[in-house]
Each structure stands twice: as structure tokens, then as C-alpha cells.
């Protein structure tokens, strides 16, 4: 059950996206998300969607895995789009009790769900093609300027690396503890809400205990290898921009210009500025 | 009728993906009441998966598990009842402790069975006795106990359910040699007193040969051998071929036999082996005659 989570997982490969510098990928991801939310009509939205699909094709990871990552957010998409369906103003197309659906509501619903889906897809393309270590390396380098304000960038990045590293370990541990308690007759599937919450205690307590134990052991191991934070620490792999990064920037900029042009030349679909 | 019948059971992890791995492949076994079975095999030979199918933690893709003449999956809603009958102690079971006191933790299983308070405290006491936990330790938090004591609490938690079949996955892993000897002796004593069925998974041929009556050897997801301890060790050479360590004394006898000495090779205790080797010595009377 827990093994089916693909959000935030790395899949090894040799694609263009895999070869890009993590810093550039993070910057591009941010830019993509900004532009996804800047689309003002269906033309620019379609253009952005097309760009996202191209990114997926270039990632060399199968479409099925992307669809799997969408499965995790399907309820959020449904919830927001249904909510938006009834929030439009104008002439109602269909109404029931106090609720009414308008053309504007339909447009907003489509827009909002398309934006969320595009955002999740493009974010997945980053985590699917970047190892957690590369990702945190990239974040660390990008946040470096903040150390002027006495923010401990290296420590933050290290915490993220460790957290990501231990997700699968803890998932595995949860699975094991669940089996062990099930073998003692624990029942997670039946009963009302409160008895189900209570049934989680025999899992959560051992899980916390083992997380603390692991944290303690890891701290010991790091200390005995003389880890002392980021000061004066050199890297084995120094990040370098390559021709792929340049190409990505150029292509993306062209897409972004396209979006702006579409926004200006075609009428706005959305009245509200979201 | 056997107590537990395993009929042609197969299970594949991650079926339908690129990582699919067949962990158990067409396994059939009959387990009788009162058996003490040692299960041995390499890491990844499917022994852990197999034992998890026996109490319904894993539902086999093919085949059936028949307990007391009834398929355990015939009523999936009642699978919990099966888990009370087939008790399972996982590897490093001390990591599953969670209650405030050792006593309450042992009582978790019996409580889930819906027993009365009197019955529960009775069972907790007797289970603690079986694993040699001192009564004063029962009031302590399980997290204050030593590693060995924690493990005893966890094992007692399963024994307290009084299962017909008790399965232990590497109960001695990580214990010191003395601790493992004591624990194995306690498990054996428990088996004798309760006259129930015990399945014990272990990496150590020596441990298994000492306490099990039958041995199940798993190799590459299949049953390699399932027979009395004596007959399994007769095939010592075959076991060595699949890379399993046989007890050292058996190895010595095998080597002697290979060099032409008339010894039997189905011996796995040091005392018996010594006797067997002593037989090779020419009789005193013979020596006198020749001398």
C-alpha cells in the first residue's frame, strides 16, 4: 500500500533532463510554475500545457509514472474545480437550489484544474530526474546568497538531504511494524473514526522511537567522521552548467514569450486575476 | 488431516511491474500438530514471505493455505482469527513495543482477542514465565529494559495469545551466544509443555539441528527439502552445494566417510559424533591380540 507512492521519487536515466544542472532545473521549474499561473486565456494555457508535455517527453520517464503522481492529487483537483464551478457570476446555464453553474464558472474550473495538473506534472519531472542529493546541492547553491543574512544554508540543505534519504527507510519500517501489530490482532480497517485513530498508536509510537534511534545513530556516525557543518567543506562533484542548460533556457524563454504574446493578443477568459 | 496444509502456494512481489520478483514458487507442505520445524535458507530464498502467508499477512497469488481443514481466505473478514491461531514473532520484535509497561504490551494481543481481564492477566503471567521474565520487570516501561529483555517481552506478547502454531523469525538474531542458548531452550521447553506446533526460521544450522525435529530447506523460492532433521543432514553434501552451512561435526563425519571410514553422516550433535568416531578406534582386545 505504502509502496505505491511515487511523488518525489527518483528514476535513473540518461535523458536531457537528467543531464541538466539541478540549479537550472530548479530555476526553470519556478519559472514554469509562475508562467502556468500567468496564463490568462485558453491559448496561453494550451501553450504552457504543450510545453509541460514536451518536458515530460524529454525526461525519459514513462508517462504512466506521471499519471501515477496525479493520482495522489486527484481529490484536490476535483474539490477545487467543483468549488470553482459554482463561483462564477453571469448568466446561469444550470441551477439547482441556490447553486448555479455559469459559463464563467466552467471556465474557471477548467483553468484551475489544468493549472494544478500542469504544476504537479512539471514538479514531478524535476524530482523524477534529479537525485535527492543533487536536488539539495542545487538548493544549497541557489540559497547561498542568503548566508549574508546569517541564514545557515548548508544546515538547511543537509536537513533536507537527510529527510529525503530517510523517507523510504521509514516507509519500510512502517510496513514492518504494521505487519507485526497485525499479527497481534491489530485492526486498522474496521471501526469508527476514533477507534481507527486509536489503532494507529501501536504503529506511531514504535515508529517515533525508531526515528529517534536512527537520528541518534546517524548523528554519532557523522560526528565520528568529523562532520562539522558547512564551513570549509569542499565538494566531490562541483556543479557546472552545460549546453543542455543553455538550450533549456532558450527554448523556455521562447515559450514564455509565446505565453505573454497570447495573453496580450487574445481576450482574457478569466475575469478574476487568479 | 494435517493441522496446516500449504497447497501449491506462489507469491510475487510487485506483480506487473519491472521489479516483479517471485518470492515463493509453488510451495506445498503439510505441517502436523506437535511438529517443531526449523526453516533454513539464504537471504531472499523466500522463507520470510512463506511464513507471512501462513497467518494471512500476505495473500498468496496462487494456491491455498488450509488451517484445520478450512481455507484461511474463505472468509477474508475473519482473517484476524487466523492470526490468533497462527502466532508470528517477527525479526527484531523489540521494535514493535509501544505500551507504557511491559505487562500491558504483552496483553495487547490477548486484549485484541477480546478475552476477559482475569484471563488476560493469567496469560500474561504464564507467557512471561515461559520466556523467563522476572515479575518485577513487568511493571517497567519496555523502553527501560535491556535488549534481551525487550525481545523476551515481544515474544511473550505473541505466546500470550496461545496460538496453535507459533512462528518465530530469527528469534536469536543479535543476541549473545549465552542469550541465544537460553532463549532456544525456553522455546523448546514451551513447545514440550504446550505440545503445540513451532516453526523457527534461522540462519544457523547448528541452532536448528539442536532443537528442531524436522527441517524445511528453502532455496530460490522453492522447497529444497522438507524432512526429519536426520534425513535432511544425510544429504549434507547437497546442502553444501546450494551453499548452506551444515553443522561442523556433520562436516567432519562427511569428510571421514569420503576418505573411506565407515561412519554414518546423519549425526549433528557433538556427543553423538564423538561416539561415532570412537567406534573407529580398534577395540582394546584387538590391540592386545596384535600387540
CATH number reported for the structural domain that contains residue B65 in this entry: 3.40.50.300
Does residue A273 register a pLDDT over 50? Answer: no
> Which residues does B50 contact at the CB level (< 8 Å), separation at least 6?
B6, B9, B24, B27, B39, B218
Span B227-274, pLDDT tens digits: 988 888 777 778 888 888 777 888 888 888 888 888 877 777 788 888
Residue A180: its chain B contacts at CB < 8 A? 88, 90, 93, 95-96
Looking at the fold, whether B283 and B200 belong to one and the same domain comes out as no
More confident residue, A274 or A108: A108
Q: Which three cell numbers stand for residue A196?
A: 481507527
Does residue A2 register a pLDDT over 70? Answer: no
> Which residues does B169 contact at the CB level (< 8 Å), separation at least 6?
B48, B51, B88, B89, B90, B91, B201
Looking at the fold, whether B42 and B140 belong to one and the same domain comes out as yes
Task: Report the alpha-carbon distance of residue B85 to residue B68 in Å, rounded.
Answer: 10
Task: Report the alpha-carbon distance of residue A6 to residue A19 in Å, rounded.
Answer: 21
Residue B98: its chain A contacts at CB < 8 A? 201-202, 205-206, 209
Q: Which residue has the cell 554519532?
A: A220
Looking at the fold, whether B111 and B251 belong to one and the same domain comes out as no
pLDDT score, position A192: 80
Residue B133, CA distances (Å) to A128, B92, B105, B120, B186 in order: 50, 18, 13, 17, 11
pLDDT score, position A1: 43
Looking at the fold, whether B285 and B195 belong to one and the same domain comes out as no
Q: In terms of residue numbers, what domain contains B283?
A: 247-291
Domain assignment present for residue A274? The answer is: no
Residue B158: its chain A contacts at CB < 8 A? 183-184
Domain assignment present for residue B41? The answer is: yes
Domain assignment present for residue B281? The answer is: yes
Q: Choose the closest CB to A206 out of B14, B57, B97.
A: B97
Looking at the fold, whether B164 and B282 belong to one and the same domain comes out as no
Task: Report the alpha-carbon distance of residue B22 to residue B107 in Å, rounded.
Answer: 36
pLDDT score, position A19: 87
Task: Report the alpha-carbon distance of residue A228 to residue A250 in Å, rounded.
Answer: 40
- pTM strictly above 0.80: no
Domain assignment present for residue B66? The answer is: yes
Whether A179 sits inside 8 A of B55 (CB atoms) is no
- Asked whether B87 and B124 are in contact (CB, 8 A), the reply is no
More confident residue, A98 or A33: A33
Task: Report the alpha-carbon distance of residue B91 to residue B259 in Å, rounded.
Answer: 41
Span A243-255, pLDDT tens digits: 888 988 898 899 8
More confident residue, B221 or A99: B221
Whether residue B57 lies within 8 A of chain A, CB to CB, comes out as yes
Task: Report the alpha-carbon distance of residue A128 to residue A7 in Å, rounded.
Answer: 8
Domain assignment present for residue A240? The answer is: yes
Span A39-84, pLDDT tens digits: 888 888 888 989 999 998 888 888 888 888 888 788 888 998 888 8
Task: Report the alpha-carbon distance of residue A60 to residue B231 in Å, rounded.
Answer: 55
The residue among B86, B88, B89 whose CA lies nearest residue B151 is: B89
Looking at the fold, whether B223 and B252 belong to one and the same domain comes out as no
Task: Report the alpha-carbon distance of residue B222 to residue B242 in Å, rounded.
Answer: 12
Task: Report the alpha-carbon distance of residue A161 to residue A191 in Å, rounded.
Answer: 38
Q: Which residue has the cell 533454513?
A: B40
pLDDT score, position A17: 86
Name the domain count of chain A.
Answer: 1
pLDDT score, position B238: 84
Does residue A231 register a pLDDT over 60? Answer: yes
Name the domain count of chain B.
Answer: 2
In chain A, the residue whose alpha carbon lies closest to the alpha carbon of B87 is A183
Looking at the fold, whether B212 and B285 belong to one and the same domain comes out as no
Domain assignment present for residue A139? The answer is: yes
Domain assignment present for residue B151? The answer is: yes
Does residue A274 register a pLDDT over 50? Answer: no
∠ CA A206-A210-A211, rounded to 5°: 115
Whether residue B157 lies within 8 A of chain A, CB to CB, comes out as yes
Residue A256, CA distances (Å) to A116, A268, B6 in order: 18, 17, 63
Looking at the fold, whether B40 and B118 belong to one and the same domain comes out as yes
Domain assignment present for residue B270? The answer is: yes
Whether B57 sits inside 8 A of A181 (CB atoms) is no
Q: Which three cell numbers stand for residue A28?
A: 526553470
Domain assignment present for residue B242? The answer is: no
The residues pairing with B225 across neighbouring beta strands, listed in sequence order, are: B217
Domain assignment present for residue A37? The answer is: yes
Looking at the fold, whether B124 and B169 belong to one and the same domain comes out as yes
Residue B52: its chain A contacts at CB < 8 A? 179
Does residue A181 register a pLDDT over 90? Answer: yes
Domain assignment present for residue A56? The answer is: yes
Domain assignment present for residue B274? The answer is: yes
Q: Which three cell numbers stand for residue A261?
A: 504574446
- Asked whether B86 and B54 are in contact (CB, 8 A), the reply is yes
- Asked whether A66 and A52 are in contact (CB, 8 A), the reply is no
pLDDT score, position B121: 93
Q: Which three cell numbers stand for residue A208?
A: 517515533
Whether A201 sits inside 8 A of B98 (CB atoms) is yes
Residue ranges in A39-102 assigned as alpha helix (H): 42-59, 63-71, 74-85
The residue among B79, B17, B6, B74 whose CA lies nearest residue B46 is: B6
Residue A176, CA distances (Å) to B92, B100, B249 in order: 10, 21, 37
- Asked whether B11 and B61 are in contact (CB, 8 A), the reply is yes
Domain assignment present for residue A273? The answer is: no
Domain assignment present for residue A271? The answer is: no
Span B6-31, pLDDT tens digits: 999 999 987 766 678 889 999 999 99
Looking at the fold, whether B98 and B148 belong to one and the same domain comes out as yes
A214: confidence class by pLDDT, cuts 50, 70, 90: very high
Residue A9: its chain B contacts at CB < 8 A? none
- Asked whether B66 and A173 are in contact (CB, 8 A), the reply is no
Domain assignment present for residue B235? The answer is: no
Whether B93 sits inside 8 A of A184 (CB atoms) is no
Looking at the fold, whether B278 and B199 belong to one and the same domain comes out as no
Q: In terms of residue numbers, what domain contains A95?
A: 2-265
- Sign of the alpha-carbon torsion through B264, B266, B272, B277: positive
Q: In what order do the strands lie in the sheet with B62-67?
A: B21-31, B4-13, B62-67, B70-71
- Mean pLDDT (whole number) for A126-152: 85
∠ CA B143-B102-B192, rounded to 5°: 125
CA distance A164 to chain B (A): 22
Which segments in chain B show pLDDT lower than 50? none
Sheet strands (E) in chain A = 92-96, 99-102
CA distance B224 to chain A (A): 27
Amino acid at each position: 500500500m505504502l509502496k505505491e507512492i511515487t511523488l518525489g521519487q527518483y528514476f535513473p536515466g540518461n535523458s536531457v533532463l537528467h543531464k541538466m544542472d539541478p540549479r537550472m532545473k530548479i530555476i526553470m521549474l519556478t519559472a514554469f510554475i509562475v508562467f502556468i499561473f500567468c496564463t490568462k486565456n485558453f491559448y496561453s494555457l494550451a501553450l504552457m500545457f504543450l510545453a509541460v508535455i514536451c518536458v515530460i517527453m524529454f525526461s525519459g520517464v514513462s508517462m504512466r509514472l506521471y499519471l501515477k503522481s496525479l493520482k495522489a492529487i486527484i481529490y484536490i483537483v476535483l474539490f477545487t474545480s467543483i468549488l470553482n464551478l459554482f463561483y462564477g457570476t453571469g448568466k446561469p446555464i444550470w441551477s439547482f437550489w441556490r447553486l448555479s453553474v455559469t459559463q464563467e464558472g466552467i471556465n474557471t474550473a477548467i483553468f484551475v484544474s489544468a493549472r494544478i495538473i500542469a504544476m504537479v506534472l512539471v514538479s514531478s519531472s524535476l524530482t523524477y530526474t534529479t537525485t535527492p542529493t543533487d536536488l539539495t546541492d542545487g538548493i544549497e547553491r541557489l540559497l547561498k546568497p542568503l548566508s549574508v543574512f546569517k541564514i545557515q544554508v548548508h544546515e538547511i540543505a543537509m536537513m533536507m538531504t537527510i529527510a529525503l534519504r530517510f523517507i523510504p527507510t521509514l516507509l519500510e519500517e512502517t510496513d514492518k511494524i504494521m505487519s507485526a501489530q497485525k499479527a497481534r490482532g491489530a485492526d486498522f480497517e474496521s471501526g469508527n473514526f476514533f477507534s481507527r485513530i486509536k489503532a494507529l498508536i501501536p504503529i506511531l509510537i514504535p515508529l517515533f522511537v525508531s526515528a529517534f534511534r536512527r537520528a541518534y545513530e546517524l548523528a554519532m556516525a557523522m560526528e565520528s567522521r568529523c562532520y562539522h557543518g558547512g564551513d570549509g567543506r569542499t565538494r566531490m562533484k562541483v556543479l557546472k552548467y552545460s549546453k543542455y542548460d543553455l538550450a533549456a533556457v532558450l527554448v523556455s524563454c521562447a515559450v514564455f514569450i509565446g505565453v505573454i504574446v497570447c495573453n496580450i493578443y487574445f481576450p482574457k477568459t478569466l475575469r478574476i486575476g487568479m | 488431516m494435517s493441522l496446516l496444509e500449504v497447497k501449491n502456494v506462489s507469491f510475487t512481489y510487485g506483480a506487473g511491474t519491472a521489479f516483479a520478483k517471485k518470492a515463493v514458487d509453488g510451495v506445498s507442505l503439510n505441517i502436523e500438530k506437535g511438529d517443531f520445524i526449523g526453516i533454513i535458507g539464504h537471504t531472499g530464498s523466500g522463507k520470510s514471505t512463506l511464513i507471512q502467508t501462513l497467518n494471512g499477512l500476505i495473500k498468496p497469488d496462487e494456491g491455498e493455505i488450509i488451517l484445520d481443514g478450512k481455507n484461511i481466505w474463505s472468509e477474508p473478514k475473519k482473517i484476524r482469527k487466523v492470526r490468533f491461531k497462527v502466532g508470528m514473532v517477527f525479526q527484531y520484535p523489540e521494535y514493535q513495543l509501544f505500551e507504557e509497561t511491559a505487562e500491558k504490551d504483552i496483553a495487547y494481543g490477548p486484549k485484541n482477542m477480546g478475552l476477559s481481564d482475569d484471563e488476560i492477566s493469567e496469560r500474561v503471567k504464564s507467557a512471561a514465565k515461559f520466556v523467563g521474565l522476572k515479575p518485577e520487570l513487568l511493571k517497567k516501561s519496555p523502553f527501560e529494559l535491556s535488549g534481551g529483555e525487550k525481545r523476551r517481552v515481544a515474544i511473550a506478547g505473541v505466546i500470550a495469545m496461545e496460538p496453535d502454531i507459533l512462528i518465530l523469525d530469527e528469534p536469536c538474531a543479535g543476541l549473545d551466544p549465552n542469550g541465544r542458548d537460553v532463549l532456544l531452550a525456553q522455546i523448546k521447553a514451551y513447545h514440550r509443555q504446550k505440545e503445540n506446533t513451532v516453526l523457527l526460521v534461522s540462519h544457523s544450522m547448528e541452532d536448528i539441528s539442536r532443537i528442531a525435529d524436522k527441517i524445511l530447506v528453502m532455496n530460490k523460492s522453492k522447497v529444497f527439502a522438507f524432512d526429519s532433521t536426520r534425513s535432511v543432514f544425510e544429504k549434507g553434501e547437497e546442502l553444501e552445494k546450494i551453499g548452506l552451512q551444515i553443522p561442523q561435526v556433520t562436516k567432519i563425519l562427511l569428510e571421514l566417510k569420503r576418505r573411506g571410514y565407515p561412519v554414518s553422516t546423519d549425526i549433528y550433535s557433538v556427543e553423538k559424533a564423538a561416539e561415532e568416531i570412537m567406534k573407529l578406534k580398534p577395540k582394546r582386545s584387538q590391540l592386545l591380540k596384535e600387540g
